[in-house]
Amino acid sequence: MTSPRLRTDAAANRARILEVARDTFAAEGLGVPMSEIARRAGLGVATLYRRFPTKQDLVAEAFAEQMSQCAGMLDAALADPDPWRAFCRVVTEVCAMQARDRGFSAAFVSAFPDTAQFCALRERAEQGFAELIRRAQDAGALRRDFDVADLPLVLLANGGIRAGSPEATANASRRLVAYLLQSFRAEGAAALPPPTVIPLDTALL
Amino acid sequence: MTSPRLRTDAAANRARILEVARDTFAAEGLGVPMSEIARRAGLGVATLYRRFPTKQDLVAEAFAEQMSQCAGMLDAALADPDPWRAFCRVVTEVCAMQARDRGFSAAFVSAFPDTAQFCALRERAEQGFAELIRRAQDAGALRRDFDVADLPLVLLANGGIRAGSPEATANASRRLVAYLLQSFRAEGAAALPPPTVIPLDTALL
DNA sequence: GTAGAAGTGGAGCATGTCCTCCACTTCCAT
DNA sequence: ATGGAAGTGGAGGACATGCTCCACTTCTAC
């Protein structure tokens, strides 16, 4: 991939850029200008663009780690013998991650429009989550009319939560997720309007 | 207020601007440039700025109607003898409005930072909603740990819902609200993380 | 040490948005 | 009808942001 190895100083700079980008995007969202990232990394803009030809590229690499972290969470949940707990864990953890990282969901749609790698990851996530749903429903814990499309719904809703401080946001998100998980239980389930497929690309501004 | 009355043609233009602005903001959000609004109204930008010195002013006036519509919904709900139905109605209707209008929630925080009129309206809405909560809780329909701060939470979450078409958005929003209302019922209420006060100004981008 | 490839910085281009300026046009009281 | 206040349009100033160009610096293989 990165065939010709970078000079040592360049490699260090590249790493610093990514580190700064991760922190900054997490704290302030994807709206931060490239020049600001460059400034914080103590570099010129040109350097930044030499490593990451476009802002999307930078965002994509900056969030790659969290991407696989998500996949890891799913695998862990799939290994859990208790289906309801597994389901809750995934929803809770993904939402917590989203609440922690301001740019996370935006990165999802803005940075990986249709790279093969991303599509594969998404495909796997969908199938894994569908499996979790099936198990939890078969165990009688999750309501029968819960739909795969309800996960994007939860993520969209959770993505809307933005309180003042990071802590406040995290708290608010936790409470929302707790509410939602209670309504996902099979017990008192009353009728619902039908689910809606949500096209990911138009979902987030 | 508008002491020196406008010339008839100017008044007509002003009205047209507001009409166009309402439609455009509702359909495409507040991101639409002023020049675009002017173009659609068949006017120059200067005219627009003469009537509404700043974009905020235009937004504020464009959404004033919906503002009072909200107040009306609250009054209607307060007149409802069934506390739970009243509570559900307010949540459902406000969320539906928000889902219908892309600029609605953004307008709330961006356009009325601290005009006296707006503060008064908000104050009244908060007190009215608190009253609805109290009644529904006293009737044993609404869970005891539901907090006033949960309304902003719902609005924030609902504001995050953006599917492709207006219809899809409306559907998705309806489903989310249905889920939430079920978890707000007193019956199966399990423990929740504590509520968080949400500073409105920082809430929406 | 040194040549030259690799890397760098900052000015600056292109674009988009809010808003202002001012020469021109339109309405209305007389 | 007409003078002048009220209204208007579009160019363009100010600013922000993604990205490029190119003269200059730094590293590293020899």
- For residue A2, pLDDT over 60 is answered with no
Question: Which CATH number belongs to the domain containing residue B72 in this structure?
Answer: 1.10.357
Do A49 and A94 lie in one domain? The reply is no
Rounded CA separation B118/B103 (Å)? 17
Q: Is A58 contained in some domain?
A: no
Same domain, B112 and B194: yes
Query: How close does chain A come to B23, measured CA to CA in Å?
Result: 19
Residue B83, pLDDT above cutoff 70: yes
Number of A/B CB contacts below 8 angstroms equals: 125
Output the domain CATH number for residue A22: 1.10.10.60
Residues B133, B98 within the same domain: yes
Q: How many other β-carbons are positioned within 10 Å of the β-carbon of residue A42?
A: 11
Amino acid at A70: C
Whether the pLDDT of residue A168 is over 80: the answer is yes
Give pLDDT, residue A114.
Answer: 61
Segment A156-166 shows an average pLDDT of 91
Whether residue A154 has pLDDT greater than 50: yes
Euclidean distance between CA atoms B144 and A92, whole angstroms: 23
The band of A205, judged by pLDDT with boundaries at 50, 70 and 90, is very low
B81 and B111 inside one domain: yes
Which residues, other chains included, contact A73 with Cβ-Cβ below 8 Å and sequence gap of 6+? A89, A90, A93, A94
**Are both A188 and A95 inside the same structural domain?**
yes
Mean pLDDT of chain A: 91
Q: Which nucleotide is nearest to A35 (CA to C1')?
A: D17
Task: Look at residue B163 in the predicted model and tell me its pLDDT.
Answer: 87
Q: How many CB atoms lie within 10 A of CB A197?
A: 14
Q: What is the pLDDT of residue A3?
A: 59
Top pLDDT among B89 and B68 is at: B89
Residue A49 has pLDDT above 50, yes or no: yes
Residue A68's contacts (CB-CB under 8 Å, 6 or more residues apart) are none
Q: Do residues A191 and A126 share a domain?
A: yes
Smallest Cα distance from A182 to chain B, Å: 6
pLDDT: is A188 or B17 the higher one?
Answer: B17
Question: Does one domain contain both A77 and A143?
Answer: yes
The gap between B37 CA and D16 C1' (Å) is 21
Same domain, yes or no: A86 and A17: no
Please check whether residue A2 lies inside any domain of the structure: no
Task: Return the minimum-mean-pLDDT range out of A81-95, A118-132, B50-64, B69-83.
Answer: A118-132
Whether residue A194 lies inside any domain: the answer is yes
Looking at the structure, tell me whether residues B72 and B159 fall in a common domain. yes
Mean of pLDDT values over A142-157 = 95
Same domain, A41 and A124: no
**CB count, 10 Å around CB of B190?**
11
Q: pLDDT band at B45, cuts 50/70/90? A: very high
Q: Which residue range(s) make up the domain with B18?
A: 1-53
* A136 plus A93 within the same structural domain: yes
What is the predicted pLDDT for the residue at B29?
A: 93
Q: What is the pLDDT of residues A4-13, one digit of tens each?
A: 789 999 999 9
- Enumerate the H helices of A139-187 as residue ranges: 150-160, 166-184
Number of domains present in the structure of chain A: 2
**pLDDT score of B204 more than 50:** no
Instruction: Look at residues A53, A75, A90 and tell me which one is the last residue of a structural domain.
Output: A53
Instruction: Return the exposure string of B85-114: e unless at least 16 CB atoms fall within 10 Å of the residue's CB, then b.
Output: ebbbbbbbbbbebbbebbbbbbbbebbbee
Give the mean pLDDT of chain B.
90
Q: pLDDT (tens digit, 9 = 90+) per residue, B130-173?
A: 999 999 999 999 999 999 999 999 999 999 998 888 899 999 99
In this complex, which of A187, A198, A203 lies closest to B188 when CB atoms are compared?
Answer: A187
Q: Burial of A142 by CB count in 10 Å (0-12 exposed, 13-18 middle, 19+ buried)?
A: buried
Residues facing strand D, Cβ within 7 A: A 7-9, 31, 33-35, 45-46, 49, 53-56; B 4, 6-7, 9-10, 13, 42-47, 50-51
Q: Tell whether A179 is covered by a domain.
A: yes
Q: Are the CB atoms for B59 and B103 separated by under 8 Å? A: yes
User: Which pLDDT band holds residue B205 (cuts at 50, 70, 90)?
Assistant: very low
Lowest mean pLDDT among A55-59, A117-121, A132-136, B17-21: A117-121
- Compute the average pLDDT of residues A120-130: 90
What is the predicted pLDDT for the residue at B200? 62
In this complex, the answer to whether residue B11 has its CB under 7 A from any atom of chain C, a nucleic strand, is no
Q: Which of A156-165, B108-117, B193-202 has the lowest mean pLDDT?
A: B108-117
Backbone angles phi, psi at B142, to 5 degrees: -100, 135
Residue A1 placed within a domain:
no
User: Tokens at residue B129, please?
Assistant: 């909603």
Q: What is the pLDDT of residue B108?
A: 77
Residues of A with CB under 8 A from a CB of B: 29, 150, 153, 156-164, 168, 171-172, 174-176, 178-180, 182-185, 187-190, 192-199, 202-205
Distance B7 CA to D4 C1' (A): 15
Q: Is residue A120 part of a domain?
A: yes
Average pLDDT (B74-86) is 97
Helix segments in chain B, DSSP class H: 8-28, 34-40, 45-51, 55-78, 83-100, 104-111, 116-138, 150-160, 166-184, 200-203
Judgement on whether residues A34 and A70 belong to the same structural domain of the protein:
no
Contacts of A77 (CB under 8 A, 6+ apart): A86, A87, A89, A90, A128, A132
Output the CA angle B139-B143-B149, nearest 5 degrees.
Answer: 115
